[in-house]
Structure 1
């Protein structure tokens, strides 16, 4: 299916929220703060049969997050800057930089509101890391310190290419098969993930996917499926969003 196709009848397609960056940006004659996100995310949601809606970090309040989430059928926490290490009780590593307090607050509020109504969620890269932190987990702040190489994030805008193996019986295995040719761009990784099970690993045993148990679709992946033009995980999210929310207490 083309990433620019538009399947589904109006009114029947699930609405999927995508969290965004807030950065200095330039367009036309303007250079100022803007709410932005790589177009590949929205294209992948459209190709998977959903309707993408951007969710800028304009507010960190739980009330605002509840108002937004109540109008969504699914949520993507997108990639981006490092998570503030103070949120999981660590001092910043020398390579941990440029975290965004506004994004941390907003996306944590979105995750909390999504939990209340058991909304389907997919976390991508930073999104997976934030999901782990929201659950009380922690991160390794510089993965090369753990694995001894920089293949997970070679630098600048270059993506690492890793063959990731998946766990039998997992949602990620159902979507992607036994292995994934993953495009990675993460210098941090998940060290602990309470309430989740690890469901995919890189060749050097870094956790590359995690899922919550039960019927709810609640998954994080470290790689960037949208950049590989791979809509399998987005399709799985849209399918979960289409089938309706799981009643609270079903886990």
Structure 2
């Protein structure tokens, strides 16, 4: 019997055009997210924004959760006024993904937050965000050229979950973001930095709860984070099956 773990991936609502349709409201996610999960040995399930009260029911059916990249998180969620360059236009997604994260954390399910997903993870833990990173670091090296991802080095912190998965002193990662962690959420640990001091990864002290500011789905040659998530999800699945069997 195929017991691959089921990995839920959050999605976004956008106007899109395809085939004969000039414009339709659509649930969208870059294909590389589910491709990454499949390549790592999991089954990918897409999670369109829904009412937050149903998040626990959704998470109950999953073995792990990926919160994908996308729009800026609403600054009101961390008590800030919007920066002129903040584009926070996804309230349904904000509420849904925050509820998914809280449900997954409460249930002890593995979590991987990617870019926006890492930022929202920090906010859920009570942290805040830098709304426009170039104002702080003085350059735009975290954003790639138009319609493309940039690349820059990050430095994993030794003796962290991430440092164990990516043990090299430095690696170059695909990146595209103009926001970042400001005040770290309560109980979280910084697990990687950029050369300019930007927080590039965060993690919780227990279980598999990891956020990365870069985009691992854009680097199919390096599946280490996805494979670690799938291993953690497999353990959750096996434990649930043993418990159900009595």
TM-score normalised to the size of structure 1?
A: 0.90
Query: What is the RMSD computed on CA atoms of the aligned residues?
Result: 1.5
* Cα separation, 1, equivalents of 2:152 and 2:162: 16
Alignment of 1:124-163 (within 5 A): 124-163=114-153
Alpha-carbon contact 1:124-1:223 (below 8 Å) kept: yes
Alpha-carbon contact 2:144-2:151 (below 8 Å) kept: no
Q: Does 1:94 align with 2:77?
A: no
SS of alignment partner, residue 38 of structure 1 = coil
* Cα separation, 1, equivalents of 2:145 and 2:98: 27
SS of alignment partner, residue 97 of structure 1 = coil
SS of alignment partner, residue 236 of structure 2 = coil
SS of alignment partner, residue 244 of structure 1 = helix
Of 10, 22, 26, which aligns to 1:19?
10
Residues paired across the two proteins, number: 235
Q: Which runs of 4+ in 1 moved over 6 A?
A: none
1:53-72 Cα distance to aligned partner (Å, 9 max, x none): 00000x2323x101110000
Of 46, 67, 75, which aligns to 2:65?
75
The 3 A distance-change label for structure 1 pair 155 and 81 is farther
User: 2:41 matched to which residue of 1?
Assistant: 49
* Cα separation, 2, equivalents of 1:124 and 1:66: 21
1:206-242 Cα distance to aligned partner (Å, 9 max, x none): 000011012x100000000111223111111101011
* Cα separation, 1, equivalents of 2:193 and 2:27: 32
1:160-213 Cα distance to aligned partner (Å, 9 max, x none): 211101111122122222222111101000012221100100010100001101
Q: Which moved more, 1:155-164 or 1:228-237?
A: 155-164
Shift of 1:112: 1.2
Q: Does 1:169 align with 2:122?
A: no
Alpha-carbon contact 1:60-1:109 (below 8 Å) kept: no
* Cα separation, 1, equivalents of 2:135 and 2:51: 32
Shift of 1:87: 0.7
SS of alignment partner, residue 192 of structure 1 = coil
TM-score normalised to the size of structure 2?
A: 0.92
What stretches of structure 2 of length at least 5 have no aligned partner? 241-246
1:29-87 Cα distance to aligned partner (Å, 9 max, x none): 12200001000000000010000000000x2323x101110000000000000000011
User: 1:188 matched to which residue of 2?
Assistant: 179
* Cα separation, 2, equivalents of 1:33 and 1:226: 24
* Cα separation, 2, equivalents of 1:98 and 1:120: 27
